[in-house]
Amino acid sequence: MNSHNSNKRLIREKKKDIIKMLRKEGIEPNNKQSKEELIKLLGLAQKANEPSRATNKRLFRTKGVKPIVLVVLTVLILGSFYFLYKLNPTFNRNVNFLVSLMEVENRSIENPNDPTILEKNGKTYVVYNHPLVDVEVFYDQSCKRPECEIEPYLNQIKKNVSPLVDIEMVDISDPKFANRTEDLGVNLLPTFAFDKTVEKLGNFEDIKDKFISRSGSEYLLQVLPYRTLNDIDTDNAKLLYGSPDSEIKIVTFLSLSSEQSVNTLPQLQKASETYDNAAVYYKYYFRNETDEKVAKALECSADLDRFEPMLEVLSDNYENIGQSDVDRFRGLLNTYVTRAGIGFNDFFECYEEENEKINALIQAHKGDINELGVIGAPAAFINKQPESSYGVILGFYPENDFMKLVDDILNQENQSNEN
């Protein structure tokens, strides 16, 4: 049996059985030694007790040499080895290194791209079996808001994707930024672009659908955005406050079944008044099927020139809407339509029928939600012309904090426009 197969067999043996084998070879091992050390000692003992052909001939030709001499020589050799191993740190490290190599060589791995876990001297070592993954980070270093911090995301990539990454930071002011983001279809900052080496990761199948989308031969990881790179279509949005001619534009995604969205409405109105009659546009966010019916109710009201009254009635009753399924919301509308001063029959003729225009608008808003990385309502995208990009505020903030965030984004836009 060759040493490779023998080592594989010994690795499967229990430690006490290996100790018995060593004793048969004339070696009294130390119980504190690791299993790997005992295997190595056993291999050396067996090798020492198996003379080479030349030695074998010489011994049998020499008169007076007894088998006991072989035993004594073996004990002396192995004893010397044992004391060297225990007392000489360099010799000890070299043996451990050889044992670790043996473990890697004999380890049976289902997926060769999975990391190998080794135990040495009471410590655990992870050996990654793939080359460095190149990662480009597209970001805007001028953004100083807490949500613009990149380092936490890089730490998460090293922890959850792979520590073997070569990071290249590509700022929005970098000459290559525009071409690279256009080639990859990047619209949100920050975005992390992984080269094809990411496919060699042992956990690639687990992360490719959850965290990474494909763009050509590369993979994109997008997290909570703090800036967009392109304009947002407002042709299919409703103007809530301000003037469409204002150079400041705020596009919001709201759900009227959400208390936080409803509480954001007065903040948006104040932002419009504070910043040169800024145009505040409303797009729908869908938490459930009831939100889709809310959108349809508002659009039917808009067709009858009663959008604002219906918005006010629905906002005042967000608690009821939030607890309603589709059928119960339909019942509530019997009262809401009258309160909004809308003709009952005209409204329900629109609401009850299939309406391709409204269905298309709902689908368009859903597409915007996915493209812009909106994961909840409220969400506000703030732009100051002539820039076509937007600063992003996700979630609800107290009024003072919200106004400060708007101010920070607009100041950043001023700096970008001046540059």
Residue range 16-30, pLDDT digits in tens: 777 778 777 766 766
pLDDT above 90 for 180? yes
Domain range summary for the chain, segments of one domain joined by + = 3-125, 133-228, 238-418
- Asked whether the beta carbons of 232 and 372 are under 8 A apart, the reply is yes
Q: Which two tokens stand for residue 106?
A: 């004999």
Q: Which CATH number fits domain 133-228: 1.10.10, 1.10.3210, 3.30.70, 3.40.30?
A: 3.40.30
| Tens-digit pLDDT profile for residues 168-178 | 999 999 999 99
| Tens-digit pLDDT profile for residues 239-257 | 999 999 999 999 999 999 9
Topology agreement, domain 133-228 and domain 238-418:
yes
Q: Quick one: what percent of the chain has pLDDT higher than 70?
A: 72
The answer to whether the predicted template modeling score (pTM) of the entire model surpasses 0.85 is: no
Other beta carbons within 10 Å of 384: 23
Q: Which CATH number fits domain 238-418: 3.40.50.1000, 2.60.40.1730, 3.40.30.10, 3.30.1130.10?
A: 3.40.30.10
Residue 325, classified by CB atoms within 10 Å of its CB into exposed (0-12), middle (13-18) or buried (19+), is exposed
| Tens-digit pLDDT profile for residues 292-322 | 999 999 999 999 999 999 999 999 999 999 9
Write the DSSP string, 41-83.
HHHHHHHHTS--HHHHHHHHHSTT--HHHHHHHHHHHHHHHHH
Q: Helix, strand or coil for residue 19?
A: helix
- Asked whether the beta carbons of 180 and 138 are under 8 A apart, the reply is yes
